Amino acid sequence: MEKTRTEARATSPRSRDRGRATRHRLIEAAARLCRERPGAEVSVAEIADAAGAFPNQVTYYFGSKDALLVRAAFLGLLHDARRIERIGRQAPDAAAFRRNIARAVLAMPSLPSVTRALAAGISKPELAPVVDQHLQLLFRQSERFVGRLIDSRGWKTRRPLGVEARTFWSTALGAVLLVRAGAHGTAGELDLAGTLTIHDEADPDHT
């Protein structure tokens, strides 16, 4: 009996490591498939095959395919956001930063998957906490990035950084949701840059 307990304790950490690795592979595989096939339906079997896992492991680790796809969508969004940060750092002034960031965000390949994730959070209440968790992560990541950038450049913002990040992303995601819901027009017609209040002393648009 004691030997069995000792063996269980010895193998448990390895099992947890394998479980984390499998979860990660499933999320990465789902994110990759959604990126390669925007707007197309991706099956559990396809995700599992791409991850080198079994289909029933999707339910075991995530509860449902929708819960996995929500996590995969936001993983893609966070990856895109990091690439956009590089674009933002290259801007020579605050006005260029606002224009470049807005244009890049509306062209992100992850946006279709994220809008489906947001819709899933509305229609399936059990997914709402997962959506909220990832949105909060996005807001915090953006807030940290903007805070470091304006400190290093001597720029200013007319709103608290947390409000700036939430306002910007809420506008961008809301615009894409409206277009996907059939609203007339395109997300590109939105003045997303105008939602940002980041400016420098020489910026004529924010004096």
Query: What's the CA gap between 139 and 80, in Å, rounded?
Result: 14
Radius of gyration of the chain (CA): 21
pLDDT of residue 20: 87
Q: What is the mean pLDDT of the chain?
A: 85
Tokens of 157: 């913002």
Domains located in the chain, CATH noted: 1-63 (1.10.10.60), 64-207 (1.10.357.10)
pTM here is: 0.79
Tens of pLDDT, residues 18-51: 888 999 999 999 988 887 877 678 889 999 999 9
Measured CA angle at 147 (ends 143, 153), to 5 deg: 145
pLDDT of residue 15: 75
Residue 156: what are its φ and ψ, rounded to 5°?
A: -135, 165
